[in-house]
Amino acid sequence: MNITKKIKAMAKSYGADIVGIAPMSRFEGAPPQMDPRLIMPDAKSCIAVGFRVFRGSLRGIEEGTFFSNYSAMGYGGITYLYMPMTVINICKVIEDMGYEAFPMGHQSDWRAIDNEGNLKQKYSKPVAPGKPAPDIMVHLRLGAYVAGLGEIGFSKMLLTPEFGPALRVGLIFTELELDPDPIYNGPKLCNKCMACVNQCPGNCFSKTKTVKVTVAGHELEWSDLDMSGCDYAFRGGTKTEPGKKGFYYDGREDTKPGSHSPFLKKPNNLYNTGQAICGSRGCTRACIDSMEKRGVLTHKFKKPFKRSKPWSVDWSDYESLTGQNAAKTSAKETD
């Protein structure tokens, strides 16, 4: 077995569901703040490993009865436990062969750019002229794209033929030269059905405004996503009406639960960032449904994903539940 096949087999034996390899030349044109070649100039290969999110982890959110599992086992647990262990173990084997390797997971908290790609103010400075400000952060989904794992959907999610958008990605950069995989050119996975757009609880996707980028010579296009809207909505919150108070997020008096959250206050994070109360209703759940109905997913289930009636929480009693009506009444009584 050649070394590329061995590394791929090893990655799967350590827990990866899918593996792809890109030569570093496919990062040509990446903005310096996102270019892994400026982290490891002698790197030859990027190994992308994908970890499925269990469709069953989303079942409790579909039913509206059990929200923690996706955040813990589908999101935080894979991101901060399972994936790092796998990519770390792969790096050990490569370094034992005499080639440098480093595992990359979700380390965005240290990156020098914000969600819009702008340099954070008063954060860090380049160590020498011509270098980007620390930290560079490689776009994990685009790393997976250039390694051939799938395509980028209108939602900006990586869509894979096996699991659709229900996947977490880790990358390994190494000086070991491996045989590359082609960029995905199988059956079209995103048909611009707009299910992600229509079912996103934060209305975060634009139907008409898109972002176009060229990655490894391929034109990619996705919806111009409102990241700050997603930041509110994916944790279950929404903004209160003008003049009204709410307490969904700590330290924010302008937040209340949206109709997609059953919680009066956002529950604690699970595994550091597990707080996906919306259960990725648009960008993952609606997309899985769309892809399954079109028969484009190779990983098959006996029963369809969408089975129960969509639910929506009625928060018309929010003020009384948070004691605001009582406070107003007693204020009137003492007037």
Does residue 303 contact residue 221 with C-beta atoms inside 8 Å? no
Considering only 19, 73, 137, 200, the residue that binds ligand SF4 (CB under 6 A) is: 200
Phi-psi region of 295 (alpha: psi -120 to 50; beta: other; left: phi over 0): left
Considering only 104, 233, 270, 297, the residue that binds ligand SF4 (CB under 6 A) is: 233
Q: Does the footprint of ligand SF4 cover residue 93 (CB under 6 A)?
A: no
Q: Does the footprint of ligand SF4 cover residue 215 (CB under 6 A)?
A: no
Task: Give the number of other Cβ atoms within 10 Å of residue 301's Cβ.
Answer: 11
Q: Does the footprint of ligand SF4 cover residue 152 (CB under 6 A)?
A: no
Using the minimum distance from each CB to ligand SF4, give the nearer residue, 193 or 264: 193
Using the minimum distance from each CB to ligand SF4, give the nearer residue, 8 or 256: 256
Place of tokens 């647990």: 77
Considering only 67, 154, 247, 305, the residue that binds ligand SF4 (CB under 6 A) is: 154
Calpha distance 242→5 (Å, rounded): 59
Does residue 156 contact residue 125 with C-beta atoms inside 8 Å? no
Does residue 67 contact residue 279 with C-beta atoms inside 8 Å? yes
Work out how close the CB of 291 gets to ligand SF4 at its nearest, in angstroms, rounded to a whole number.
6
- Could you tell me the two tokens for 155? 């939602």
Does residue 140 contact residue 170 with C-beta atoms inside 8 Å? yes
Q: Does the footprint of ligand SF4 cover residue 213 (CB under 6 A)?
A: no
Does residue 120 contact residue 132 with C-beta atoms inside 8 Å? no
Q: What DSSP designation does 255 have?
A: E
Using the minimum distance from each CB to ligand SF4, give the nearer residue, 93 or 296: 296
Q: Does the footprint of ligand SF4 cover residue 202 (CB under 6 A)?
A: yes
From residue 118 to residue 147, the character string flagging contacts with ligand SF4 as x (rule: CB under 6 A) and all else as - is ------------------------------
Residues that bind ligand SF4 in the complex, under the rule CB under 6 A: 153-155, 190-196, 200-202, 204, 230, 233-234, 278, 280-283, 286-287, 290
